[in-house]
Amino acid sequence: MAKKILISDPTLRDGNHAVRHQLSREAFIAYCQAAEAARVPIVEVGHGNGLGASSMLVGECRLSDDEILTVSRQHLHNSRLGIHVIPGFCTIKKDLVRAIELGVDVFRIASHCTEADVTDRHIHYVRQAGKEAWGVLMMSHMASPAQLLEEARKMESYGAEAIVIMDSAGAYFPDDVKERIATLVDGLNIPVGFHGHNNLGMAVINSVTAVNEGATIIDGTIRGFGAGAGNTQLEVLVAVFERLGFDTGIDLYKILDAADIAEKEFNPVAPSISPLSIVSGLAGVFSGFAKPVARAAEDYKVDPRDIFFGLGKRNAVAGQESLIIEVARDLAEKNSAAQKG
Amino acid sequence: MAKKILISDPTLRDGNHAVRHQLSREAFIAYCQAAEAARVPIVEVGHGNGLGASSMLVGECRLSDDEILTVSRQHLHNSRLGIHVIPGFCTIKKDLVRAIELGVDVFRIASHCTEADVTDRHIHYVRQAGKEAWGVLMMSHMASPAQLLEEARKMESYGAEAIVIMDSAGAYFPDDVKERIATLVDGLNIPVGFHGHNNLGMAVINSVTAVNEGATIIDGTIRGFGAGAGNTQLEVLVAVFERLGFDTGIDLYKILDAADIAEKEFNPVAPSISPLSIVSGLAGVFSGFAKPVARAAEDYKVDPRDIFFGLGKRNAVAGQESLIIEVARDLAEKNSAAQKG
């Protein structure tokens, strides 16, 4: 019998990054219907940064969390409804309580790859409410396989029923995935999943590699809609897994139809691998830094690509925008010293 | 010392497919300058189907072969000038003679993967003129490794100085590439190369696999500009090979600049993996069939995707448009029988 793979589809969440969180009510309805028709098991929705993240700083979402969850729930019957939860953005009392009321099935509680501790209370809360909670480790290329296992074990101990590692910067090569997934599958008692980005053109093969190493959950978005160079392209995954003899339960023709529908409903065009996303992947830095990096490059008259590589060397993580100025200033000083010398 | 890889860049040839052969004189100049600045070793130019192919039937090129070769030659100094040659489109007396006069350096003489015989006279002619001739096997997934080797050996015996296999339908998985490249590297005395398309998201990893099996020539186009789902994305290849410790001799920042230039100069946007190109890759059928397939699907009220898979089962090769009608009619009959039954 073909090995089963559980596909979780964050098109209506990670895809919101590609449109500055401006997905419309119509887009949610059209895509939920298309995904339901294609038998996509889990449809993840929301602001790009998850529940409670809509804000001036991170970007205001066109729809409120309540609107998104209500409209999505109305149009998903067999497909389960999932959300992305980053403690810090998402509060338990206000946001989680409401999401449970609105019928969310799968809560994916996420932290930076070395900070699983912050997910403790959220995971416990979801489990006590009788709902499904997963642990998600973001920017997972910044931790060694052993570190990742340690963090994942914490999440497991809090009650997480699955662990997904994210290649948020699209920095992985297949061998990196192999090592990490094998370590997690070996060391955990719960299913392991992989969420790829395509900065170096490796998202599909990285997902296949993850499955070959024992991962049973794979994330993918239609047409690759998602942050930066985009996510692993869902309809390609379905085709490739079908050819390789894995069972996703998704109808190939219907998921291809969903891609056509998304092409019409969503704006702008699907993500492609831009020069900056390649640099971001090579440097292992989240591509969300692109705008402040461009500003700093302008201010200090340095190459934005050098800033990205500088950030990579300093292991910059999301939120550390102050580092950008520091790196830019250092580069400018070096350049000026080189000119004088 | 890092292993050297020779990159051959058909952006200004295969990329012409993406714009119905309408690349402008300005696009040729801008991209030749950008490729030269990035130290791209070989820049291949022309109509999408190569020298002499411009016609009502295949598509008329905006510029004549003479104009393309003249303007490209003027703007390439260190980069060598390459062309794609399909005997049948390209005559020796008229086209090859002229291309030699206009200063082409590398002649890539191509045939369907099982018809190397037709390249005999062209390869001989180019070699006798003191120019470099390669053999190119198109739609190479339709031949077994042993068959490919046999055909490649013919080309070698005609005087070919390298063999490139093309994954014209974007149908390969890494294991397919591994088997074929290993067989060719083992059985030939000349360098072996790989030309990928991205229908199943495998172009980059297939190229890496080819190199790991001993290929030393890799084709890639900027932003993936090319037929169907596009070619292997050149600037991603350069980044990935650099990370893996291979030496392409290409300047990473300058090739990223070239991608920005192409984005501005070329129309429309870079290719992406469309639903139809996935089907084309899965079926192993050249995506150039898309238009006549859509027409036949309309006429016979059948699913165009079923036609593609039907063509794949019958091993359709380019030019066999009549098969499309045959497949569509068969499908329509089956559908009608099923409805009655």
A39 membership: H or E segment, kind and range:
none
Indicate whether A324 pLDDT > 80: yes
pLDDT at res. A321: 78
For range B216-220, the mean pLDDT = 98
Q: How far apart are CA B244 and CA B253, in angstroms?
A: 17
B195 marked among binding-site residues: yes
Q: Is there a contact between B200 and A260 if contact means CB atoms under 8 Å apart?
A: no
pLDDT value of position A174: 98
Q: How far apart are the first and last CA of chain A?
A: 69
- Residue A227 has a pLDDT of 85
Provide the pLDDT for residue B318: 65
Q: Are A270 and A258 in contact (CB under 8 A)?
A: no
For B274-314, how does the pLDDT look when each residue is reduced to its tens digit (9 = 90+)?
A: 999 999 999 999 877 888 899 999 999 999 999 999 999 99
Strand pairing category for B217-219 and B192-195: parallel
How far is the C-alpha of B305 from the C-alpha of B278, rounded, in Å? 10
| Cα B320–chain centre separation | 19
Q: Are B239 and B206 in contact (CB under 8 A)?
A: no
pLDDT tens-digit readout, B60-95? 999 999 999 999 999 999 999 999 999 999 999 999
> Band of the pLDDT at B234, cuts 50, 70, 90?
very high
Contact A19, A267 (CB under 8 A): yes
Average pLDDT for residues A192-201, to the nearest whole number?
A: 98
Q: Determine the pLDDT at residue B340.
A: 78
User: Minimum mean pLDDT among A102-111, A217-226, A289-298, B261-270: which range?
Assistant: B261-270
**Residue A318 confidence (pLDDT) above 80:** no
- Closest chain A residue to B270 measured between Cα atoms? A272
Q: Which residues of B touch A200 (CB under 8 A)?
A: 204, 236, 239-240, 243
Handedness of CA A216, A219, A221, A224 (dihedral sign): negative
Examine the pLDDT at B121 and tell me if it is beyond 90: yes
Q: Please, what is the angle between helix B234-244 and helix A275-283, to 10°? A: 20
SS3 content of chain A, % helix, strand, coil (to 5): 50, 15, 35
b/e code B117-128 from CB counts within 10 Å (16+ = b): eebbebbebbbe
Distance to chain A for B200, nearest Cα, Å: 6
- Give me the pLDDT at residue B2, please: 82
Nearest residue of B to residue A198, measured between CA atoms: B201
pLDDT given for residue A1 in this prediction: 67
pLDDT exceeds cutoff 80 at A133: yes
The size of chain A, in residues, is 341
Query: Which of A173, A240, A278 comes nearest B236 by C-beta?
Result: A278
Could you tell me the two tokens for B305? 């995707």
Q: Can you give the pLDDT at residue B322?
A: 85
H or E element in which residue B82 lies? strand B80-85
Percent of chain B at pLDDT exceeding 70: 98
Question: According to CATH, what is the number of the domain B6-265?
Answer: 3.20.20.70
Q: Which of A184, A210, A187, A182 is nearest to A6 (CA)?
A: A210
Q: How far is residue A137 CA from its own chain's centroid? A: 10
The C-alpha atoms of residue A97 and residue A126 are separated, in whole angstroms, by 9
The residue among A310, A285, A283, A313 whose CA lies nearest residue A297 is A310
Chain B residues whose C-beta is within 8 A of a chain A C-beta are 173-174, 200-205, 223-224, 232-233, 235-236, 239-240, 243-244, 253, 256-257, 259-260, 269-270, 272-275, 278-279, 281-282, 303, 305
pLDDT at A231 exceeding the cut of 90: yes
pLDDT value of residue A283? 94
The residue ranking higher by pLDDT, A335 or B46, is B46
Decide if B244 and A201 are in contact by the 8 Å CB cutoff.
no
Query: Do the Cβ atoms of A111 and A86 come closer than 8 Å?
Result: yes
Consult the annotation and say whether B197 binds a ligand. Answer: yes
Q: For residue range B172-205, what is the model confidence (pLDDT) as tens digits?
A: 999 999 999 999 999 999 999 999 999 999 999 9
How much is the pLDDT for A331? 94
Contact status, residue B142 vs residue B168, Cβ threshold 8 Å: no
How buried is residue A122: exposed, middle or buried, by Cβ count under 10 Å (0-12/13-18/19+)?
A: buried
* A-chain residues near B305 (CB < 8 A): 253, 256
pLDDT of residue B155: 98
| Maximum distance among all Cα pairs of chain A, rounded to whole angstroms | 69
A275 and B259: CB-CB below 8 Å? yes
Which positions ≥6 away from A88 have C-beta within 8 Å?
A: A118
- Position A341 scores a pLDDT of 65
| Pairwise CA distance, residues A199 & B55, whole Å | 38
Ranges in chain B annotated CATH 3.20.20.70: 6-265
Q: How far apart are CA A11 and CA A23, in angstroms?
A: 10
Res. A78: pLDDT tops 80 = yes
From the list A202, A233, A243, the residue facing B205 with the nearest CB is A202
Residue A185, CA distances (Å) to A190, A192, B127 in order:
8, 6, 56
Q: For chain A, how big is the Rg over CA atoms in Å?
A: 20
Residue B329: pLDDT over 70: yes
- Residues of A with Cβ-Cβ distance to B239 under 8 angstroms: 200, 278, 281-282
| A272 vs A283: CA distance, rounded Å | 18
Q: In chain A, list all ranges with CATH 1.10.8.60.
A: 275-340
* Residue of A236, A254, A280 to mutate, interface with B, max B Cβ within 10 Å: A236
Task: Check pLDDT > 70 for residue A319.
Answer: no
Burial of B155 (0-12, 13-18, 19+ CB in 10 A): buried
pLDDT of residue B223: 96
Residue A158's identity, in one-letter code, is Y
- Taking residues A129-150, what's their average pLDDT? 97
Reference B177, options B162, B160, B187, B164; nearest CA is: B164
How confident is the model at residue A291, as a pLDDT?
85
Residue B19: pLDDT band with limits 50, 70, 90: confident
Q: Using alpha carbons only, give the angle A80, A85, A87 rounded to the nearest 5 degrees.
A: 155
Tell me whether the omega of the peptide bond preceding residue A292 falls within 30 degrees of 0, making it cis: no
Q: Residue range A287-301: average pLDDT?
A: 89
User: Rounded to 10 degrees, what is the CA torsion of A22, A25, A30, A36?
Assistant: 100
**Closest CB to A256 among B244, B256, B278:** B278
> Does A47 participate in catalysis according to the annotation?
no
Other beta carbons within 10 Å of B92: 14
CA proximity to A248, closest of A9, A73, A29, A82:
A9
CB contact under 8 A, A235 and B278: yes
Candidate list B17, B21, B75, B112, residue with the active-site label:
B17
> With contacts defined as CB-CB under 8 Å, which chain A residues touch B173?
240, 243-244
d(CA A124, CA A136): 14
| A204, A212, A238, A261: best to mutate for the B interface, most B CBs within 10 A | A204
Q: How many CA atoms lie within 13 A of B153 on its CB side?
A: 11
Size of interface A-B (CB pairs under 8 A): 95
Q: Are the CB atoms for B165 and B176 separated by under 8 Å?
A: no
> Tell me, what's the pLDDT at A86?
97
Are the C-beta atoms of residues B217 and B193 closer than 8 Å to each other?
A: yes
Decide if pLDDT at A56 tops 90: no
Task: Give CA–CA dist A90/A87, Å, rounded.
Answer: 5
Question: Right CATH number for A275-340 from 1.10.8.60, 3.40.50.12780, 1.10.10.10, 1.10.150.120?
Answer: 1.10.8.60
**Quick check: A270 and B270 CB within 8 A?**
no
